[in-house]
Amino acid sequence: MRFTLNAFLVIMLLGLTTSCFNDDRDDNVILASEINDFVWKGMNAVYLYKDNIPDLADNRFSSNQEYANYLNSFSTPEDLFESVIYQRQTVDRFSWITDDYIALEQLFSGVFKTNGMEFSLFFAPNSSTEVIGVIRLVLPNSEADNNNLQRGDIFYAVDGSPLTESNFSTLLNQDTYTLNLAAFNDNGTSETTDDTIDPGTESITISKVPYTENPVFRTEIIDVDGENVGYLMYNGFTSNFDNQLNNAFGNFLSNNVQHLVLDLRYNPGGSVNTATLLGSMITGQFNGQVFAKLIYNNDLQTHNTSFNFTNSLNDGSAINSLNLDKAYVLTTERSASASEMVINSLKAHMSSIIQIGTNTTGKSQASITVYDSPDFGRDGANPNHLYAMQPLVAIGVNKNDDVVPSTGLSPTIVLEEYRFNYGVLGNENEPLLAAALADILGTGRISYPALPSVKLVGDSNAFLTLKKGGMYIDNKPLKEAIKRIQFN
């Protein structure tokens, strides 16, 4: 019994529902969980690692009854989904399933629920029990911004309860909570053994509300010894904001920018098409050449796709290209997917990409939104539920077929963000940007003292799982949508 993509589409065109399994050998129709049925058929059709999962084999089931028993052995769609994920901890860390694809679609368009701050959680100095949060990013005109929270602010408690490794998830998963702020105190010495976190008197209450994020977070033009350096902090490859991205490069172009510092340190990814547009804006001299390629599973090899450098946006507007042959990119372990694709793809064309920061995530796979519909597209989705899947379906490579290592892309200049000295983003004294400017100026690489090893206890992205992981395609039928895959 085979369940290839084409066979599935033919069955659906014949009007058979996805809530049953049919066998050519008899006329019996065995009803099973329609959502579990959708999960198996969708993963069987498009999953990148299908060949590694015996339960997804086309000949896995010999009868309707066997298939129905299999589906009904899972109490939830999530359980079935996880059972067919290939090496969750090491290989496929990014596929996911959701029970609310409306929220998923909003997220991919740049709309999500947030209080406007991203933060990291660490053990307090000289403690293995007390936890502190340090804000690393505040979104403009958000709840956090309107309450005057800033990058580098420290909080030690939520709703008056001191943070610990066991309670921070519960406290920070609330829609509304009060941050109790604190200050770092090095007690005037260079030693770390006397460092403390001193609770303050200020408390700020913030709520998570729907927010539309413009990924073009900040741009600056910095004069370095008579030459203009363009700085762009870009936080997500969101296609709805392609024009804003192009406008930023238009500003660089009109100001005769000769060097570019692209800050992707908090960019988890997004649209492959937008990544291609960004690569075209940085360069311009490679129009029509291969920027990146996507390679699918053995059943979908005809969908293998090349994304080429271009001189126009999707709406036909001319791209503002800098025609650079060298660029600086700032990264952290939060730089993923399309961010890594840009670096990996440009390295195959430009003479020099200077990466500053720490290793990236190491995520070269792409995914597609799979709906419970005849062709897995958004139109005709089953009205009985809002489940959708975001499975990995392809691997991204550059023109030379080089893949991003699972350990991430290693920086040219290693420089870790220090939790008690984040600096102001876009300011020429911010450590990572300062290192790029020093290299441009030719004064030699800035030497920073070795930082003490610090355990990251938690991360705000853990509370925005969909924003952090996966790769996605717009909600068009599979045959069309698969051509416009996105990284996230």
Q: Which of 75, 12, 47 is nearest to 370 (CA)?
A: 47
Residue 56 reports pLDDT greater than 50: yes
pLDDT in tens, 212-267: 999 999 999 999 999 999 999 999 999 999 999 999 999 999 999 999 999 999 99
Domain boundary among 209, 244, 272: 209
Span 178-184, mean pLDDT?
97
Q: What is the pLDDT of residue 462?
A: 47
- Per the domain annotation, does 102 fall within a domain? no
Q: Which of 153, 264, 284 is nearest to 215 (CA)?
A: 264
Tokens of 117: 């701050």
Domain boundary among 209, 226, 241: 209
Q: Do 288 and 235 share a domain, yes or no?
A: yes
- Per the domain annotation, does 93 fall within a domain? no
pLDDT in tens, 320-347: 999 999 999 999 999 999 999 999 999 9
Span 50-76, mean pLDDT?
94
Q: Do 301 and 427 share a domain, yes or no?
A: yes
Q: Do 152 and 184 share a domain, yes or no?
A: yes
Confidence of residue 453 (pLDDT cuts 50, 70, 90): low
- Per the domain annotation, does 249 fall within a domain? yes
| Residues of the chain above pLDDT 90, percent | 75
Q: Which CATH number goes with the domain that contains 195? A: 2.30.42.10
Residue 164 reports pLDDT greater than 60: yes
Q: Do 237 and 380 share a domain, yes or no?
A: yes
Q: Do 167 and 264 share a domain, yes or no?
A: no
Span 284-295, mean pLDDT?
97
Secondary structure tally for the chain: helices H, strands E = 13, 26
| Residues of the chain above pLDDT 70, percent | 85
d(CA 338, CA 340): 5
Residue 478 reports pLDDT greater than 60: no
Span 458-475, mean pLDDT?
49
d(CA 55, CA 19): 19
Q: Do 199 and 220 share a domain, yes or no?
A: no
- Edge-to-edge strands, sheet with 227-234: 216-224, 227-234, 257-263, 326-331, 352-357, 413-414
Average pLDDT, the chain: 87
Confidence of residue 451 (pLDDT cuts 50, 70, 90): low
Span 134-158, mean pLDDT?
97
DSSP helix/strand/coil, 88? coil
Q: Do 205 and 244 share a domain, yes or no?
A: no
DSSP 399-441: TT-PBPPTT-PPPSEE-PPPTT----TT-TTSHHHHHHHHHHH
Q: Which residue is associated with the tokens 């030690």?
A: 156
Strand partners, 134: 120, 154
Tokens of 418: 């220090």
Residue 162 reports pLDDT greater than 90: yes
Q: Which residue is associated with the tokens 């600096």?
A: 423
Confidence of residue 448 (pLDDT cuts 50, 70, 90): low
- Per the domain annotation, does 319 fall within a domain? yes
Q: What is the pLDDT of residue 411?
A: 97
pTM of the model: 0.85
Q: What is the pLDDT of residue 107?
A: 75
List, in order, residues 6 or more apart from 439 with CB less than 8 Å away: 328, 354, 356, 413, 445
Residue 484 reports pLDDT greater than 80: no
Q: What is the pLDDT of residue 349?
A: 98
Confidence of residue 444 (pLDDT cuts 50, 70, 90): low
Confidence of residue 144 (pLDDT cuts 50, 70, 90): very high
Q: What is the pLDDT of residue 472?
A: 46
Q: Do 366 and 433 share a domain, yes or no?
A: yes
Q: Do 436 and 370 share a domain, yes or no?
A: yes
Q: Do 186 and 295 share a domain, yes or no?
A: no
d(CA 486, CA 471): 5
Strand partners, 176: 207
Domain interval for residue 337: 216-446+465-487
Tokens of 119: 């933060």
pLDDT in tens, 88-130: 998 998 999 999 998 888 877 777 889 999 999 999 999 999 9
Confidence of residue 189 (pLDDT cuts 50, 70, 90): very high
List, in order, residues 6 or more apart from 295 with CB less than 8 Å away: 304, 394, 395, 396, 397
Confidence of residue 449 (pLDDT cuts 50, 70, 90): low
Residue 365 reports pLDDT greater than 50: yes
Q: Do 202 and 220 share a domain, yes or no?
A: no
Domain boundary among 209, 244, 268: 209
- Per the domain annotation, does 434 fall within a domain? yes
- Per the domain annotation, does 303 fall within a domain? yes
Note the maximum CA span of the chain: 82
Q: Do 57 and 166 share a domain, yes or no?
A: no
pLDDT in tens, 374-417: 989 999 999 989 999 999 999 999 999 999 999 999 999 999 99
- Per the domain annotation, does 90 fall within a domain? no
Give the number of domains in the chain. Answer: 3
- Per the domain annotation, does 115 fall within a domain? yes
d(CA 172, CA 458): 11
Confidence of residue 450 (pLDDT cuts 50, 70, 90): low
